[in-house]
Amino acid sequence: RILILDFGAQYTQLIARRVRESGVYCEILPWDVTDAEVREFGAKGIILSGGPESVTDTKGPTAPQAVFQSGVPVLGICYGMQTMAAQLGGRVTAGTHREFGYAQVTSSAPCKLFDGLFDHKDGQGRPLLDVWMSHGDKVDELPPGFVAVGFTNSVPLAAMADESRHYYAVQFHPEVTHTLQGEKILERFVREICGCEARWSPGNIITDSIARVREQVGRDNVLLGLSGGVDSSVVGALLHRAIGDQLTCVFVDHGLLRQGEGDQVMETFAQHMGVRVIRVNAEERFLTALKGEVDPERKRKIIGRLFVEVFEEEAAKLQGIRWLAQGTIYPDVIESAGSRTGKAHVIKSHHNVGGLPEKMNLKLCEPLRELFKDEVRKLGVELGLPREMVYRHPFPGPGLGVRILGEVTKQYADLLRKADTIFLDELRKHDLYDRTSQAFAVFLPVRSVAVMGDGRRYDYVIALRAVETIDFMTARWSRLPYEFLDLVARRICNEVDGISRVTYDISGKPPATIEWE
Ligand code: XMP
């Protein structure tokens, strides 16, 4: 396996995903791990990520000495290259401006990392590589033992290597898709230079996880909160395969799900797969608790608290449960463990029922802890879950509760569900669903005047929201075709009695958030 040391770059998780896509398991640890931790990890190769700091700053982060004492191949990327250069006796100078975007690297000496990967030539017949750069500082003096293997117009040392020690470094970012041969460069490093076998595939992950879960829980019974979301669904399918009847799922239906979603969860798990699922129809309870409440944060708190309460009540009725299963995935683990590197936070779903394990004396079973979302999805498909469920857009824990502005009522929820279904159906029919990251309808409890037929109407308004984003921290509104929007708006006004006006949200994030509340 491969160790990636994180110097705080935005792209570190991308490096890990690319390495895993080449079939090799890897983990990310913060740059300030101890020498002992590096040795214990037992990596066959180490990658040093990029980062926002400057090597020229005396307080800038450095790689633990054990990295260069371990004898395994090391690849430095961007900041990783600079710290490698500085730590091994070269020199880095502070840049006066950032170089950002497309660049061409010209080969200046043969190197195993790129051999055969320069895919075209310049006017003088020298091999070229299209890459993506994002840096301020640069290496301007090689450390002893290194040779320059690539340059660009603005960076004389864009890549360097000391092949006798298996040290390689690049100033550009091979992990982003704009570096056309980037995937192959990373694959070359982990497979050929480090000698790792390609064992990391959905099939193997399932086999290994099943063995591990069986060993972990033995004959004990396990409880899982199923929400219909991707992560808990995949945990459910995996655990069912691993331990069969020892698994009991509780599915709290708060009545704020999308149309037909609750039934689909039951159909997939209970009917199709034969998983024991207890469905709790708690719509009344949630609507009663939300009555009269208009404040978004208080609505969220009410839904979260009640969700845990209902789940706990059901769990208390069950006998002999020793474990609580959760759909924690690798980015959650990195976010909480990586506080040392001060990373951005993600919004946690309230479905992770905090507090319950200690209260009920339960141990935690988290079989997806090592996986990225795209791996979880592949696993889901391999385990036989419907593609539609596995590749569904994210849906917030409080559900339609935060898509009905102000007070939540059954009438509003029903209107919203109908409009939302039309929007999503049409997106799927027009092949636009997978081209948006998240799309949904929002219910606005204001009324506007309309004429339909001969009569005057005074009806509610629906807003449509569709965004494109990689990380959900920033987003751009989807440029959906006018004709498509026109069709959806007409269908909603014709088919949803009570709605006679539809608007399309053209705000980005920032300043607007993706959800309206
Ligand atoms: P915002 O609206 O903050 O949303 O731009 C970013 C992403 O987070 C989801 N979201 C939530 N998920 N509980 C959740 O589980 C919540 O309270 C919540 N609020 C927002 C949102 O759907 C989007 O994907």
Best of 345, 514, 516, 517 for a ligand 1 pocket test (most atoms within 8 Å of beta carbon): 514
215-266 residue pLDDT tens: 999 999 999 999 989 999 999 999 999 999 999 999 999 999 999 999 999 9
Grouping H, G, I as helix, E, B as strand and the rest as coil, residue 390 is helix
296 C-alpha vs ligand 1 centroid, how far in Å?
A: 12
> Vertex 393, ends 508 and 207: CA angle to 5°?
135
Task: Tell whether 166 and 238 lie within a shared domain.
Answer: no
- Amino acid of residue 341: T
Q: Does the C-beta of 312 come closer than 6 Å to ligand 1?
A: no
151 is a domain residue: yes
Residue 352 confidence (pLDDT): 57
Give the number of C-alpha atoms closer than 13 A to the C-alpha of residue 177, restricted to the C-beta side: 1
Distance 500 CA to ligand 1 centre (A): 28
Q: Which atom, in ligand 1's list, is nearest to the CA of 513?
A: 5
Task: Give pLDDT < 50 ranges for the chain.
Answer: 339-351
The residue contributing the CA closest to ligand 1 atom 21 is: 396
Q: HEC string of 93-133? A: ECCCCCEEEEEEEEECCCCCCCCCCCCEECCCCCEEEEEEE
509 lines ligand 1 (CB under 6 A): yes
Question: Is the minimum distance from the CB of 225 to ligand 1 under 6 angstroms?
Answer: no
Question: Does 349 count as an annotated binding residue?
Answer: no
Pocket lining: 347 vs ligand 1, CB cutoff 6 Å: yes
Cα of 511 vs centre of ligand 1, distance in Å, is: 15
- CA nearest ligand 1 atom 10, residue: 396
Contact 246, 220 (CB under 8 A): yes
Please check whether residue 319 lies inside any domain of the structure.
yes
- pLDDT at res. 174: 96
- Residue 22 counted as an annotated binding residue: no
What is the separation, in whole angstroms, between the first and last Cα of the chain?
43
pLDDT score, position 344: 36
Residue 324 lies in a domain: yes
Q: Is the CB of 472 under 6 A from ligand 1?
A: yes
3-state helix, strand, coil in the chain (%, to 5): 35, 25, 40
Candidate of 347, 405, 516 to mutate for ligand 1, largest count of ligand atoms within 8 Å of Cβ: 347
Question: Residue 397, Cβ neighbours under 10 Å: how many?
Answer: 20
Residues 6+ apart with CB under 8 A from 377: 230, 234, 390, 391
Residue 242 near residue 221 (C-beta atoms within 8 A): no
Domain end position, chosen among 337, 357, 390: 390
Domain boundary among 168, 193, 218: 193
166 in the same domain as 26 = yes
What is the number of other CB atoms lying within 10 angstroms of the CB of residue 415?
22
Does 343 share its domain with 466? no
In a domain, 249, yes or no: yes
Domain identity same for 372 and 307: yes
47 with 142, same domain?
yes
Give the pLDDT confidence score for residue 96 in this predicted structure: 78
Asked whether residue 268 falls in the same domain as residue 132, the answer is no
The string of pLDDT tens digits covering residues 119-156 is: 888 888 889 999 999 888 999 999 999 999 999 988 99
The closest-lying atom of ligand 1 relative to the alpha carbon of residue 438 is 24
Ligand 1 centroid vs 473 CA: distance in angstroms? 10
Residue 509 CA: which ligand 1 atom is closest?
5
What is the C-alpha separation between 515 and 500, in angstroms, rounded? 22
**Residue 391 Cβ < 6 Å to ligand 1:** no
Helices (H) and strands (E) in the chain, counts: 16, 21
The answer to whether residue 509 is domain-embedded is: no
Residues with a known catalytic role: 78, 173, 175
Q: Domain check: are 81 and 152 in the same one?
A: yes
The CATH number of residue 130's host domain is 3.40.50.880
Looking at the fold, whether 221 and 306 belong to one and the same domain comes out as yes
Residue 182 sits in the same domain as residue 47: yes
How close is the Cα of 502 to the center of ligand 1, in Å?
23
CA of 450 to the centre of ligand 1 (A): 33
- The H or E element that residue 67 is part of is helix 65-69
How distant, in Å, are the alpha carbons of 44, 164, 259 from that of 71?
9, 11, 57
Residue 313 lies in a domain: yes
Same structural domain, 384 and 420: no
Instruction: Report if residue 165 sits inside a domain.
Output: yes
User: Among 70, 81, 75, which Cα is nearest to 26's?
Assistant: 75
Check residue 37 and give its pLDDT.
96
- Helix, strand, or coil (residue 216): helix
pLDDT single digits (tens) 378-421: 999 999 999 999 999 999 999 999 999 999 999 999 999 999 99
The runs of H, that is alpha helices, within 197-350 are 202-217, 230-243, 261-266, 283-290, 296-317, 330-337
Residues 213 and 334 in one domain: yes
| 330 alpha carbon – ligand 1 mean position (Å) | 18
Q: What range defines the domain where residue 315 resides? A: 202-390
Q: Tell me the CATH number at 308.
A: 3.40.50.620
What pLDDT was estimated at residue 353? 60
Which residue has the least CA distance to atom 16 on ligand 1?
Answer: 396
Residue type, 417: R
Quote the number of domains for the chain. 3
Beta carbon of 474 within 6 Å of any ligand 1 atom: no
Structural tokens at position 150:
């690539």
Contacts of 154 (CB under 8 A, 6+ apart): 99, 103
For a mutational test of ligand 1's pocket, the pick from 307, 515, 516, 517, i.e. the residue with the most ligand atoms closer than 8 A to its C-beta, is 515
Of all protein residues, the one whose alpha carbon is nearest to atom 22 of ligand 1 is: 396
Cα–Cα nearest to 325, from 226, 438, 419, 413: 226
- Assess whether the C-beta atom of 238 lies below 6 angstroms from ligand 1: no
Q: Is residue 455 part of a domain?
A: yes
Residues 269 and 144 in one domain: no
